[in-house]
């Protein structure tokens, strides 16, 4: 009997190029950055080490890491022109639109003039993204113009400090670091592919990243962490969660934070972030959000054999850290920028314009009729 044909819609299963940056769904836990298992990196590295790895192909030694962090620190502030634009953006704007505009505006003020500046442009965005997010958030929500510079050692700590305007705990800094590592890179996902398509036209780094932000925004991609939070906070208990999800599935609604285009039985990032959610829940004392999330996970596996992707337990984890839901996907941007920029550099190093073909399904050739005759 002939086997079921592979559904190739959405380019599924088709190779669209080469990369040395990442494998998805292959050896070990299923996800490696430059050969390192993501769980190993999450356990034994920091986000800055992972950024260095993606940009240079090797993990830094102590001196290289110290030099890299020292180079990033002075780049954390924003030009006045970018602050002025951020101040114009209304409070009810989607923060991913703010990130997109902030990125694009920075590219107006400090353009990448040629590809010799690509590392500078990537590092500038890496250092400045937490400020783009928090400067707008604090101004639009609290009317406060925050100082965008902190002396926090890590970018994760810097973000938490800007957001809460107080010293973050060591534990929260570590969780943020782990989260940024988990989100950093994921092969030819939709937003990275957007960045590569843009790069293949020999466009500039800021355009590639701006396009990628727009792609990550959607709920089928990065926007799922926010959408998952909106869903789980509506559930009153684990039993209520199962009942409501049953109704959602019956209505053929997508359950955000579940399923994956490549993984078939689990997403290796889930184990890591779920463990942090459980730990934070226990320390918080109110474990209900974690318990509800676990009930969702069990229900989806039992009924549909669908599993949590990276986004699902990020929702409760960030919530236990007091991070506003609307900033969940922008945090993803702060991390994935590293993967996007590394892919832009890789595309540029061996470029041919990305231009696939299409299967035509339209009308047969025909003649234009005079407008009076139509």
Ligand X SMILES: CC(=O)SCCNC(=O)CCNC(=O)[C@H](O)C(C)(C)COP(=O)(O)OP(=O)(O)OC[C@H]1O[C@@H](n2cnc3c(N)ncnc32)[C@H](O)[C@@H]1OP(=O)(O)O
Inter-residue contact 238 to 292 (CB < 8 Å): yes
Regarding 32 and contact with ligand OAA (CB under 6 A), the answer is no
Minimum distance, C-beta of residue 317 to ligand X, in the bound complex (Å): 14
Among 128, 212, 245, 310, binds ligand OAA (CB under 6 A): 310
Question: Which positions touch ligand X (CB under 6 A)?
Answer: 220-222, 224, 254-261, 306, 309-311
Among 32, 179, 189, 215, binds ligand OAA (CB under 6 A): 189
Nearest to ligand OAA of 11, 20 (CB atom): 11
Q: Answer with the entry of ligand X, ligand OAA, none that 259 interacts with (C-beta below 5 to 8 A by kind).
A: ligand X
Cα 372 → chain centroid: 53
Q: Report d(CA 333, CA 212) in Å as an integer.
A: 9
Minimum distance, C-beta of residue 63 to ligand OAA, in the bound complex (Å): 31
Q: Report d(CA 369, CA 374) in Å as an integer.
A: 6
Ranges of H-type helices in 217-327: 224-232, 238-250, 268-284, 288-304, 312-320
Q: Answer with the entry of ligand OAA, ligand X, none that 149 interacts with (C-beta below 5 to 8 A by kind).
A: none
Nearest to 128 by CA among 322, 330, 328: 330
How deeply is 340 buried, as exposed, middle or buried, from its count of CB atoms within 10 A (0-12, 13-18, 19+)?
A: buried
Q: Answer with the entry of ligand OAA, ligand X, none that 258 interacts with (C-beta below 5 to 8 A by kind).
A: ligand X
Regarding 261 and contact with ligand OAA (CB under 6 A), the answer is yes
53: left (phi over 0), alpha (psi -120 to 50) or beta: alpha
Nearest to 137 by CA among 96, 173, 168, 107: 96
Regarding 59 and contact with ligand OAA (CB under 6 A), the answer is no
Minimum distance, C-beta of residue 309 to ligand OAA, in the bound complex (Å): 6
Nearest to ligand X of 162, 256 (CB atom): 256
Catalytic residues, which ones?
260, 311
Per CB under 6 A, residues contacting ligand OAA are: 186, 189, 261-262, 309-310
């Amino acid at each position: 009997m002939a086997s079921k044909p592979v559904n190739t819609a959405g380019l599924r299963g088709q190779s669209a190029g080469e990369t040395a940056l990442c494998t998805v769904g292959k050896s070990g836990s299923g996800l490696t950055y430059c050969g390192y298992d993501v769980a190993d990196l999450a356990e034994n590295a920091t986000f800055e080490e992972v950024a260095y790895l993606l940009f240079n192909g090797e993990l830094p030694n102590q001196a290289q890491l110290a030099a890299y962090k020292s180079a990033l620190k002075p780049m954390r502030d924003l030009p006045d022109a970018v602050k002025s634009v951020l101040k114009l953006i209304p409070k009810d704007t989607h923060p991913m639109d703010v990130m997109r505009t902030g990125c694009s505006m920075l590219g107006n003020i400090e353009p990448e003039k040629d590809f010799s500046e690509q590392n500078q442009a990537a590092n500038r965005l890496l250092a400045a993204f937490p400020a783009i997010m928090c400067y707008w958030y604090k101004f639009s929500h609290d009317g406060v113009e925050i100082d965008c510079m902190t002396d926090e050692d890590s970018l994760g700590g810097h973000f938490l400090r800007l957001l809460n305007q107080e010293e973050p705990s060591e534990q929260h800094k570590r969780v943020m670091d782990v989260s940024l590592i988990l989100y950093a890179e994921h092969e030819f996902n939709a937003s990275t592919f957007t960045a590569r398509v843009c790069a293949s036209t020999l466009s500039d780094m800021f355009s590639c990243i701006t396009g990628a932000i727009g792609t990550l925004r959607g709920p089928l991609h990065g926007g799922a962490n926010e959408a998952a939070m909106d869903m789980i906070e509506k559930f009153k208990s684990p039993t209520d969660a199962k009942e409501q999800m049953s109704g959602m599935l019956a209505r053929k609604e997508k359950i955000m934070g579940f399923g994956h285009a490549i993984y078939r039985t689990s997403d290796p990032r889930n184990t890591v972030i779920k463990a942090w959610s459980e730990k934070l829940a226990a320390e918080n004392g109110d474990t209900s959000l974690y318990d509800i999330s676990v009930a969702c996970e069990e229900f989806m596996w039992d009924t549909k054999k669908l599993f949590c992707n990276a986004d699902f337990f990020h929702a409760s984890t960030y919530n236990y850290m007091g991070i506003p839901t609307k900033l969940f996907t922008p945090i993803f941007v702060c991390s994935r920028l590293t993967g996007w920029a590394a892919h832009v550099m890789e595309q540029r190093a061996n470029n041919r314009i990305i231009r696939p073909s299409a299967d035509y399904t339209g009308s047969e050739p025909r003649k234009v009729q005079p407008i009076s005759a139509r």
